[in-house]
Amino acid sequence: MTLAVAGVTKYFGGAVEAPVLQDIDLTVGAGEFVCLLGASGCGKSTLLSLIAGLEQPSSGSVSVAGGRAALMFQEPALFPWLTAAGNIELALRLAGVPKAQWRDDTERLLARVYLTGQGHKRVHELSGGMRQRVALARALAQRADVLLMDEPFAALDAITRDVLHEELARIWAESDLTVVFVTHNVREAIRLGQRVLLMSSRPGRIVAQWPVDLPSPRRIDDPAVASLASGITDRLREEISRHA
């Protein structure tokens, strides 16, 4: 397994408070694309932070192949004083890539997210979709086996989001990346993922999962996507009502 979360519980403010996460068990195979769904506040982002090593579990263990994972946030979080290429080069430097390779690797990564020739632009010159493409390229530059994505397309318009879905699916299909993708959008999860996991409201637990046995590439408006989304949405509503 590329990723293993075993018996993880997480408290904030000490054990006198209710846990944010409780008894999380999760295994993700090499090259698998897994999507996490759940109501706001159920601990999805906290779980990603634990996998990324930004937080430590109160109990249980997290194991990631290679010892680290790359994390892509909802906001691009690019450094505005750097160019698009500069943001990617920074990630390459932190990953220990020799300086002599930075230019070639940066150009390759920009091409991979369809931004060839845009590396000289600064953040304020990029559209929202272009910024997310740079953020994706920067995450890929970290050369981690596991890519964690925390609602990376939630703030984008529908057309831009659709384009980035296609690009992410292509990049994943062409690589050995293992992806854990957090979203509130059930159809987005089905379009992208091989497996969809549902988390309960606080304390967050994994309470259901669905394999997505649909041919790829998929569109968000495919009838088969809509059909599976309907059942998952009903289960999500039940979970939200149970904890309302």
Domains observed in the chain: 29-56+147-244 (3.40.50.300), 77-143 (no CATH)
Residue 107: what pLDDT? Answer: 94
Conformational region of residue 13, where left means phi above 0, alpha means psi within -120 to 50, and beta covers everything else: left
> What pLDDT, in 10s, does the model give residues 81-121?
999 999 999 999 988 898 999 999 999 999 989 999 999 99
Q: What is the pLDDT of residues 11-62, one digit of tens each?
A: 987 666 788 999 999 999 999 999 999 888 888 999 999 999 999 999 999 9
Q: Where do the H-state alpha helices sit in the chain?
A: 44-52, 84-94, 99-112, 128-141, 158-173, 186-192, 223-242
Query: What pLDDT was estimated at residue 218?
Result: 87
pLDDT at 190 over 80: yes
d(CA 76, CA 133): 9
170: helix, strand or coil: helix
Q: What is the pLDDT of residues 151-182, one digit of tens each?
A: 998 888 888 889 889 999 999 998 889 999 99
User: What's residue 192's pLDDT?
Assistant: 95
Amino acid identity for residue 2 in this structure: T
Structure tokens at 156: 């984008």
244 pLDDT more than 70: no
